[in-house]
Amino acid sequence: MQVFNEINALKQALSSERKEGKKIGFVPTMGFFHEGHLSLMKQAKNETNCVVVSIFVNPTQFGPGEDFESYPRDLNRDLKLCEDVGVNYVFTPDVSEMYPTGYSTYVECEGGITKTLCGASRPGHFKGVTSVVNKLFNIVEPDLAFFGQKDAQQVAVLEKMVRDLNMNLKIIPCPIKRENDGLAMSSRNVYLNEDERKDALVLSQSLKIASELIANGETDAKSIIDQMKSHIMTASSAVIDYVQIVDNSDLSDIDTVKGEVLFAVAVRIGRTRLIDNMRMTI
């Protein structure tokens, strides 16, 4: 495994791999790996023969008062995990490498797809995401790029960016990885104290309630959302950011649950903002 922190050096190494006919798989991350990240790397390894992982906590996708400075980091541990999986290249640039003095170019996906869900409560977040991922795609030039479905809106936005800009790669969404009790794996779970960790289960439990309601014939989105919210608020440390049921294709709100739908929740447990979701065909 080779580790690079300079763009040109990585591009040169990957150019050699490409000349040998290697299929390049790319896993962009912000590090502090859990099994969800490792599952992306393993899938990339299964589907390609050259796996690149980036570790970069991107400042442009964090808003004022968010946790950029305190976001969990452990590069040495992350590199060991990458090596154990069999990753070929790791890219760990400094902020100054990605955003040198005078940098002022951004890529933004406009429209409803970025204005709902996390986009509504985190203005500018997806502009930061699309800009940095666009840069990373230009640096790595992957054939396939692997993203976790836990960030369902991010996946949808990046799929749209790839389509709109005619990028020569494919986004591969990968299933959510969960703890044994159902909590979606997240680097931010480390922020939770013991009581908050128990309260955090209301996110996945609310999605299970929605699934059960659908199975029993309920299709009214408002009724389902109300019952999901009622359960979430049984946790004393929970503050709801959003609970929405949207069309899976364009993330627009729906009144009647039918077709391909996404159930999405964002909740602050104490000071920690957590998200979860469930896709379903009705």
Whether 253 is in a domain gets the answer yes
Same domain, 144 and 259: no
Residue 111 has pLDDT above 90, yes or no: no
The identity of residue 59, as a single letter, is: P
Q: 204-252 pLDDT, tens per residue? A: 999 999 999 999 999 999 999 999 999 999 999 999 999 999 999 999 9
185: how many CB neighbours lie within 10 A of its CB? 18
**Do 191 and 164 reside in the same domain of the chain?**
no
Domain boundary among 122, 149, 174: 174
Between CA 107 and CA 270, with CA 173 as vertex, the angle to 5 degrees is 80
Angstrom distance (rounded) from CA 4 to CA 234:
47
Burial class (CB in 10 A: 0-12, 13-18, 19+), 169: middle
Total structural domains within the chain: 2
Q: In this prediction, what percent of the chain has a pLDDT beyond 70?
A: 100
Is 136 found in the same domain as 10?
yes
Tokens representing 119 are 């986009």
pLDDT over 90 (residue 69): yes
pLDDT at 72: 97
- Same domain assignment for residues 170 and 82: yes
Boundary (domain end) residue, out of 126, 152, 174: 174
Same domain, 112 and 215: no
The answer to whether the beta carbons of residues 235 and 269 sit under 8 Å apart is yes
Strands 272-281 and 50-55: unpaired
pLDDT digits (tens, 9 = 90+) for 255-264: 999 999 999 9
Same-domain status, 153 and 249: no
Contact 177, 36 (CB under 8 A): yes
Give me the mean pLDDT over the 86-105 stretch.
98
Catalytic-role residue among 34, 37, 125, 231: 37
- Residue 242's φ and ψ, nearest 5 degrees, are -155, 150
Sheet with 260-269: strands ordered across: 238-247, 260-269, 272-281
Helix (H) or strand (E) holding 46: helix 35-47
Give the domain range for residue 229.
187-281
Question: What would the mean pLDDT of 137-162 be, rounded to a whole number?
Answer: 97
In a domain, 181, yes or no: no
Pairing of strands 2-4, 260-269: unpaired
Mean pLDDT (whole number) for 122-139: 97
Amino acid at 1: M
Domain membership flag for residue 182: no
Cα–Cα distance for residue pair 242/142, rounded to 1 Å: 34
So what's the pLDDT on residue 87? 98
The pTM of this model reads 0.96
Residue ending a domain, choose from 174, 197, 220: 174
Q: Are residues 92 and 230 in the same domain?
A: no
Residue 34 catalytic? Answer: no
Q: Is residue 91 part of a domain?
A: yes
What is the mean predicted confidence (pLDDT) over 58-69? 95
Same domain, 151 and 262: no
Do 72 and 210 fall within a single domain? no
- Same domain? For 108 and 204 the reply is no
| Overall average pLDDT of the 154-175 stretch | 97
- Whether 23 has a pLDDT exceeding 90, the answer reads yes
Residue 180 falls within a domain, yes or no? no
**The domain spanning residue 217 has which CATH number?**
3.30.1300.10
Question: At residue 64, does pLDDT exceed 90?
Answer: yes
Please say if the pLDDT value at position 269 is more than 90: yes
Q: Are residues 169 and 238 located together in one domain of the fold? A: no
Average pLDDT over residues 90-111: 96
